[in-house]
A and B are shown apart, each in its own frame.
Chain A
Protein backbone atom coordinates (compact mmCIF):
# COMPACT_ATOMS: atom_id res chain seq x y z
CA UNK A 1 0.00 0.00 0.00
CA UNK A 2 1.19 3.52 -0.67
CA UNK A 3 2.04 5.50 2.44
CA UNK A 4 0.66 8.78 3.66
CA UNK A 5 1.49 11.61 1.31
CA UNK A 6 1.58 15.30 2.11
CA UNK A 7 1.78 18.26 -0.21
CA UNK A 8 3.53 20.54 -0.48
CA UNK A 9 6.68 19.41 1.28
CA UNK A 10 8.03 22.91 1.80
CA UNK A 11 6.30 26.25 1.92
CA UNK A 12 7.35 29.83 2.59
CA UNK A 13 4.69 32.38 3.47
CA UNK A 14 4.62 35.85 4.98
CA UNK A 15 2.77 37.00 8.07
CA UNK A 16 -0.92 37.58 7.52
CA UNK A 17 -1.22 35.16 4.61
CA UNK A 18 -3.12 31.93 4.76
CA UNK A 19 -2.00 28.44 3.83
CA UNK A 20 -3.63 25.14 2.94
CA UNK A 21 -1.86 21.83 3.44
CA UNK A 22 -3.01 18.55 1.98
CA UNK A 23 -2.81 14.98 3.20
CA UNK A 24 -3.72 11.73 1.46
CA UNK A 25 -4.06 8.84 3.92
CA UNK A 26 -3.28 5.21 3.39
CA UNK A 27 -6.00 3.54 1.38
CA UNK A 28 -8.72 2.25 3.67
CA UNK A 29 -7.79 4.47 6.62
CA UNK A 30 -10.65 6.66 7.70
CA UNK A 31 -8.95 8.57 10.50
CA UNK A 32 -6.64 11.45 9.70
CA UNK A 33 -4.86 13.44 12.38
CA UNK A 34 -2.75 16.55 12.14
CA UNK A 35 0.15 17.53 14.36
CA UNK A 36 2.38 20.56 14.66
CA UNK A 37 6.01 20.04 15.60
CA UNK A 38 8.26 22.85 16.78
CA UNK A 39 11.56 22.76 18.67
CA UNK A 40 10.02 24.56 21.63
CA UNK A 41 6.66 22.84 22.01
CA UNK A 42 7.44 19.47 20.49
CA UNK A 43 4.69 17.45 18.84
CA UNK A 44 1.25 18.86 19.46
CA UNK A 45 -2.06 17.44 18.36
CA UNK A 46 -4.13 19.75 16.16
CA UNK A 47 -7.23 17.75 15.25
CA UNK A 48 -8.51 14.43 14.06
CA UNK A 49 -11.07 13.68 11.39
CA UNK A 50 -12.98 10.45 10.96
CA UNK A 51 -15.48 9.90 8.17
CA UNK A 52 -15.54 13.61 7.30
CA UNK A 53 -16.28 14.65 10.89
CA UNK A 54 -13.91 16.36 13.29
CA UNK A 55 -13.82 14.02 16.25
CA UNK A 56 -11.11 15.52 18.38
CA UNK A 57 -9.45 18.88 18.63
CA UNK A 58 -6.29 20.13 20.31
CA UNK A 59 -5.66 23.44 22.00
CA UNK A 60 -5.05 25.64 18.98
CA UNK A 61 -6.73 28.92 18.05
CA UNK A 62 -9.53 29.07 15.53
CA UNK A 63 -7.07 30.18 12.84
CA UNK A 64 -6.28 26.50 12.49
CA UNK A 65 -8.99 24.54 10.75
CA UNK A 66 -9.34 21.41 8.73
CA UNK A 67 -11.65 19.23 6.80
CA UNK A 68 -11.90 15.74 5.42
CA UNK A 69 -13.38 14.70 2.13
CA UNK A 70 -15.42 11.63 1.29
CA UNK A 71 -12.30 9.88 -0.05
CA UNK A 72 -10.64 10.47 3.38
CA UNK A 73 -8.19 13.00 2.01
CA UNK A 74 -7.76 15.87 4.41
CA UNK A 75 -6.72 19.50 4.29
CA UNK A 76 -5.73 21.85 7.03
CA UNK A 77 -5.84 25.59 6.75
CA UNK A 78 -4.08 28.24 8.75
CA UNK A 79 -5.33 31.78 8.31
CA UNK A 80 -3.60 35.02 9.25
CA UNK A 81 -0.23 33.37 9.63
CA UNK A 82 2.04 34.36 12.49
CA UNK A 83 5.79 33.87 12.82
CA UNK A 84 5.14 31.27 15.50
CA UNK A 85 3.28 29.09 13.02
CA UNK A 86 6.59 28.14 11.44
CA UNK A 87 6.77 24.42 12.05
CA UNK A 88 6.72 20.95 10.61
CA UNK A 89 3.11 19.91 10.07
CA UNK A 90 2.59 16.19 10.17
CA UNK A 91 -0.39 14.23 9.02
CA UNK A 92 -1.09 10.71 10.19
CA UNK A 93 -3.69 8.17 9.22
CA UNK A 94 -4.99 5.12 10.97
CA UNK A 95 -8.00 2.85 10.96
CA UNK A 96 -8.85 4.28 14.40
CA UNK A 97 -7.35 7.00 16.60
CA UNK A 98 -6.48 4.63 19.42
CA UNK A 99 -4.27 2.52 17.23
CA UNK A 100 -1.04 2.85 15.30
CA UNK A 101 -0.63 6.14 13.49
CA UNK A 102 1.07 6.13 10.09
CA UNK A 103 2.78 9.41 9.45
CA UNK A 104 3.49 11.29 6.28
CA UNK A 105 6.81 13.05 5.64
CA UNK A 106 5.42 16.39 6.77
CA UNK A 107 5.13 19.87 5.34
CA UNK A 108 7.73 22.32 6.57
CA UNK A 109 6.19 25.78 6.78
CA UNK A 110 8.30 28.88 7.21
CA UNK A 111 6.53 32.14 7.98
CA UNK A 112 8.55 35.29 7.34
Chain B
Protein backbone atom coordinates (compact mmCIF):
# COMPACT_ATOMS: atom_id res chain seq x y z
CA UNK B 1 0.00 0.00 0.00
CA UNK B 2 1.15 3.54 -0.71
CA UNK B 3 2.27 5.47 2.35
CA UNK B 4 2.70 8.80 0.60
CA UNK B 5 0.52 10.23 -2.12
CA UNK B 6 1.53 13.33 -4.04
CA UNK B 7 -0.89 15.78 -5.51
CA UNK B 8 -1.14 16.88 -8.27
CA UNK B 9 0.21 14.08 -10.44
CA UNK B 10 1.40 16.61 -13.00
CA UNK B 11 1.98 20.35 -12.92
CA UNK B 12 2.96 22.70 -15.73
CA UNK B 13 4.00 26.28 -15.00
CA UNK B 14 5.95 29.14 -16.52
CA UNK B 15 9.46 30.03 -15.47
CA UNK B 16 9.43 32.44 -12.55
CA UNK B 17 6.17 31.13 -11.10
CA UNK B 18 5.92 29.21 -7.86
CA UNK B 19 5.15 25.50 -7.83
CA UNK B 20 3.39 23.81 -4.96
CA UNK B 21 2.97 20.07 -4.57
CA UNK B 22 1.38 18.21 -1.74
CA UNK B 23 1.93 14.88 -0.03
CA UNK B 24 -0.43 12.97 2.22
CA UNK B 25 0.55 9.96 4.28
CA UNK B 26 -1.26 7.43 6.40
CA UNK B 27 0.70 6.54 9.53
CA UNK B 28 2.65 8.48 12.14
CA UNK B 29 6.14 9.46 11.05
CA UNK B 30 9.54 10.42 12.44
CA UNK B 31 10.40 12.45 9.41
CA UNK B 32 9.30 13.13 5.87
CA UNK B 33 11.68 13.53 2.98
CA UNK B 34 11.38 15.10 -0.45
CA UNK B 35 13.38 13.92 -3.44
CA UNK B 36 13.74 15.06 -7.03
CA UNK B 37 14.31 12.82 -10.01
CA UNK B 38 15.33 14.05 -13.41
CA UNK B 39 14.07 11.89 -16.23
CA UNK B 40 15.15 8.28 -15.74
CA UNK B 41 17.97 9.09 -13.35
CA UNK B 42 18.71 8.58 -9.69
CA UNK B 43 16.92 10.53 -7.01
CA UNK B 44 18.39 13.57 -5.37
CA UNK B 45 17.54 14.36 -1.77
CA UNK B 46 16.06 17.84 -1.38
CA UNK B 47 15.01 18.24 2.21
CA UNK B 48 14.13 16.29 5.35
CA UNK B 49 11.63 17.63 7.84
CA UNK B 50 11.23 16.00 11.23
CA UNK B 51 7.90 15.37 12.90
CA UNK B 52 8.50 18.12 15.46
CA UNK B 53 9.15 20.72 12.77
CA UNK B 54 6.42 22.67 11.00
CA UNK B 55 8.38 24.43 8.31
CA UNK B 56 11.80 24.23 6.77
CA UNK B 57 13.60 26.24 4.11
CA UNK B 58 16.43 25.39 1.77
CA UNK B 59 17.27 27.96 -0.88
CA UNK B 60 14.20 28.36 -3.09
CA UNK B 61 12.46 25.43 -1.39
CA UNK B 62 10.01 25.62 1.44
CA UNK B 63 8.54 22.52 3.05
CA UNK B 64 5.71 22.46 5.55
CA UNK B 65 4.51 19.57 7.65
CA UNK B 66 1.14 19.23 9.35
CA UNK B 67 1.17 16.04 11.39
CA UNK B 68 -2.45 16.53 12.50
CA UNK B 69 -3.54 16.36 8.86
CA UNK B 70 -0.80 13.90 7.90
CA UNK B 71 0.25 16.12 5.04
CA UNK B 72 3.25 18.02 3.75
CA UNK B 73 3.77 20.52 0.99
CA UNK B 74 6.79 21.44 -1.10
CA UNK B 75 6.96 24.94 -2.52
CA UNK B 76 9.51 25.79 -5.19
CA UNK B 77 9.79 29.54 -5.49
CA UNK B 78 10.72 31.40 -8.66
CA UNK B 79 10.93 28.20 -10.66
CA UNK B 80 13.46 27.64 -13.40
CA UNK B 81 13.45 25.38 -16.45
CA UNK B 82 16.07 23.26 -14.66
CA UNK B 83 13.48 22.46 -11.96
CA UNK B 84 11.64 20.29 -14.50
CA UNK B 85 11.63 16.87 -12.84
CA UNK B 86 9.50 14.48 -10.82
CA UNK B 87 9.20 15.16 -7.11
CA UNK B 88 8.57 12.48 -4.54
CA UNK B 89 7.81 12.49 -0.86
CA UNK B 90 8.97 9.57 1.24
CA UNK B 91 8.26 8.33 4.73
CA UNK B 92 9.24 5.33 6.82
CA UNK B 93 6.60 2.61 7.01
CA UNK B 94 6.91 0.08 9.79
CA UNK B 95 5.17 -3.14 8.85
CA UNK B 96 5.53 -6.69 10.09
CA UNK B 97 8.70 -6.01 12.07
CA UNK B 98 10.32 -4.38 9.07
CA UNK B 99 10.88 -0.75 8.21
CA UNK B 100 11.07 0.60 4.71
CA UNK B 101 11.26 3.97 3.03
CA UNK B 102 8.09 4.31 1.01
CA UNK B 103 7.72 6.76 -1.84
CA UNK B 104 4.62 8.25 -3.35
CA UNK B 105 3.97 8.11 -7.08
CA UNK B 106 5.37 11.60 -7.53
CA UNK B 107 4.42 14.91 -9.06
CA UNK B 108 5.78 15.54 -12.53
CA UNK B 109 6.69 19.22 -12.77
CA UNK B 110 7.28 20.93 -16.10
CA UNK B 111 8.65 24.47 -16.06
CA UNK B 112 8.27 26.15 -19.41
CA UNK B 113 10.89 28.75 -20.37
User: Which residues of A are in contact with B by a Cβ distance under 8 Å?
Assistant: 4, 33, 35, 42-43, 45, 48, 55-58, 88, 90, 92, 97-106, 108
Residue of B2, B35, B88, B92 near A98 (CB, 8 A) is: B92
Taking a contact as CB atoms under 8 Å apart, the answer to whether A102 and B100 are in contact is: no
**By the criterion of a CB under 8 Å from any partner CB, how many residues of chain B are at the interface?**
24
Given A97-B92, A102-B45, 9 extra CB contacts under 8 A: A42-B103, A43-B88, A45-B102, A98-B99, A101-B43, A101-B101, A104-B42, A105-B41, A106-B42
The chain B residue with its CB closest to the CB of A43 is B103
Which residues of the other chain, B, contact A88 by a CB distance below 8 angstroms?
40
* Given A97-B92, A105-B41, CB of A56 within 8 Å of CB of B33: no
Which residues of the other chain, B, contact A101 by a CB distance below 8 angstroms?
33, 35, 43, 45, 90, 101
The chain A residue with its CB closest to the CB of B2 is A42
- The count of A-to-B residue pairs whose CB atoms sit within 8 angstroms is 58
Taking a contact as CB atoms under 8 Å apart, the answer to whether A103 and B99 are in contact is: no
* Given A98-B30, A98-B92, A106-B41, CB of A45 within 8 Å of CB of B105: no
Question: Shortest distance in angstroms between B100's beta carbon and chain A's nearest beta carbon?
Answer: 4
C-alpha spacing A34/B90, complex, angstroms: 15
The chain B residue with its CB closest to the CB of A4 is B42
Taking a contact as CB atoms under 8 Å apart, the answer to whether B103 and A48 are in contact is: no
Which residues of the other chain, B, contact A33 by a CB distance below 8 angstroms?
101
